[in-house]
Structure 1
Amino acid sequence: MQKVLGSTELEYAFLFTLRKVNSINPEGFKPFFDNLPVDPYIQGKYRYRRLSRFIVSGDDVIKLPHGYLFQSKDYNPLVGDIKREFSELDDALIEQDIFKHMILAFSDSCKLHPEAEIGVHQIRTTCSPDNFGNPAPEGIHRDGTDFIGIFSVDRNNIQGGETHLYTAKKEKPVFSKILNPGELLLINDHEFFHFTTPVKPTAEGVGTRDVFVLTSPSLLSD
């Protein structure tokens, strides 16, 4: 991990890092992306989403009560200042060992304090020959949290979907990569803006991009 010189605060422990989580076979996540509800806050019905929040206590991952996602327009000009509600993650998904390993990998890598709240967004972006999918319709942005993790689950019949990191919105990206299944990108949200380019199919039919996005703090409230 890249160190931030002169910083003693835990939230500035790193800038960004990319790792392959060998303890996770992303194939086990795929069935849980086929029944995601459509994101009602985005026009076009090309994005599907669930959201839950958790804490890590020792080696256990504990699910917290249902909450509402809220970001200010300073961070999300598209749907900021709106109290958004999403369906919870499937209980059968949460019971999977690979799900626990993903959250622990995020928590351990970011060196989160005990019982720090973690939001887990399960997101599918779809596209067709007539309609491209936009994983980041709000444009180049920060989330307004401390840490972000993007775990790639699957890419099916798509091109594009390259993740970029920027030190400033009008600068060239300092990181550009298509995240392959099983890769986890960790980002210090205080230091970087991020964006993912639109996706379009490589052949006829629907294309899909499946990811988990983890944040701490969760940005959820009761």
Structure 2
Amino acid sequence: MLATPIKTTHNIRQEIAQQGYSLVTAEEIPLSEEMQSGWEAIRAEYASLPADNFLPGGGKYRSRRYDSFYFQPETGELRLLPHRNYFQDTDINAVTGGIVRTFEPLTPETIVNPFLRELIRFDFANFPLRDSEQRYGTWQVDVHQIHVVAQPEEISHPTPEGVHRDGAAFVTVHLAQLENADGGLVTVYDDDKQPLESFQLHHILDSYLFEDAILWHGVTPITSRDGVNPAQRGILTFDYHYKPELQRPE
């Protein structure tokens, strides 16, 4: 597996191996000038992400982009896969599961952004893979930019599906935007949906990484802190699916 220019002082792999998840603060992921510049370019897109038209009750408070990559860990190769619709089963997502959802793709600039690519590699390098074949096999990485806005006197839901799984082997979540927001408490649950820990993401790039195959997770609604200006919360999240049969796109 190739080394990545993104480093951490946090033993993420050990924590995921022991408890299934790891919470990492932004200060534990120091970025070089190049990586910080790439991260800021991605974050700048959140104010203009296209609407998510699949919210319960016709809600209009969430926007997003989505695409998938072919990933070969041994070489670090990442190739964009043909854009496709997004689907989750009802057994892991009781609200929007069973619905074929169509989201706008990532922008061309984000697709080639060096920070995005190195963050995908960095996250993967910190997974406690129990099957040695997974270290060298092929993975599909789903990339989601998600932005939630709560207007004054409104409540908006970062996870309108409630406690859920994403249907991946591992999932990583990185805070990309946070302004004037109360709420947004993250809780991770065991396989019986019993809560394990709750925590807040306070600073840009605060992150949590977890083994989605054995845990559940959910986030509480957000509201405007001052009651005058909108609340905003954005995340950059990756779903890692082990797919040894996945063909390398040309």
Q: TM-score, normalised by structure 2?
A: 0.77
Deviation at 1:181, TM superposition (A): 1.3
Match of 1:178 in 2: 200
Distance 1:71 1:56 in 2: 21
Distance 2:211 2:184 in 1: 20
Contact residue 128 and residue 205 of structure 1 kept, 8 A: yes
Question: Which has the larger helix fraction?
Answer: 2
Structure 2 counterpart of 1:54, one-letter code: F
Match of 2:66 in 1: 51
Structure 1 counterpart of 2:54, one-letter code: Y
Decide whether aligned partners of structure 1 residues 134 and 169 sit closer, same or farther in structure 2, where only a CA change above 3 A counts: farther
Distance 1:213 1:129 in 2: 26
Deviation at 1:18, TM superposition (A): 2.2
Match of 1:8 in 2: none
Aligned pair 1:210/2:234, yes or no? Answer: yes
Structure 1 counterpart of 2:101, one-letter code: R
Contact residue 53 and residue 218 of structure 1 kept, 8 A: no
Match of 2:216 in 1: 193
Contact residue 120 and residue 215 of structure 1 kept, 8 A: yes
Aligned mate of 2:30, from 19, 22, 44: 22
Provide structure 2 residue ranges, at least 5 long, that are not aligned to the other structure: 1-13
Secondary structure of the residue that 1:174 maps to in structure 2? strand
Secondary structure of the residue that 1:2 maps to in structure 2? helix
Deviation at 1:29, TM superposition (A): 2.4
Matches within 5 A, 1:67-146: 67-110=84-127, 111=129, 113=135, 114-146=137-169
**Larger Rg computed on CA atoms:** 2
Distance 1:207 1:185 in 2: 21
Which moved further from structure 2: 15-24 or 84-93?
A: 15-24
Decide whether aligned partners of structure 1 residues 218 and 52 sit closer, same or farther in structure 2, where only a CA change above 3 A counts: farther
1:33-74 Cα distance to aligned partner (Å, 9 max, x none): 122111110021001011000123423422111112111111
Question: Which has the larger strand fraction?
Answer: 1
Equivalences, count = 211
Contact residue 22 and residue 182 of structure 1 kept, 8 A: no
Aligned residues with identical type, % of pairs: 26
CA RMSD, Structure 1 to Structure 2 (Å): 2.3
Distance 1:55 1:185 in 2: 22
1:166-211 Cα distance to aligned partner (Å, 9 max, x none): 115653x222111231122111112211001111111211111010
Deviation at 1:150, TM superposition (A): 0.6
Distance 2:123 2:157 in 1: 25
Aligned pair 1:148/2:148, yes or no? Answer: no
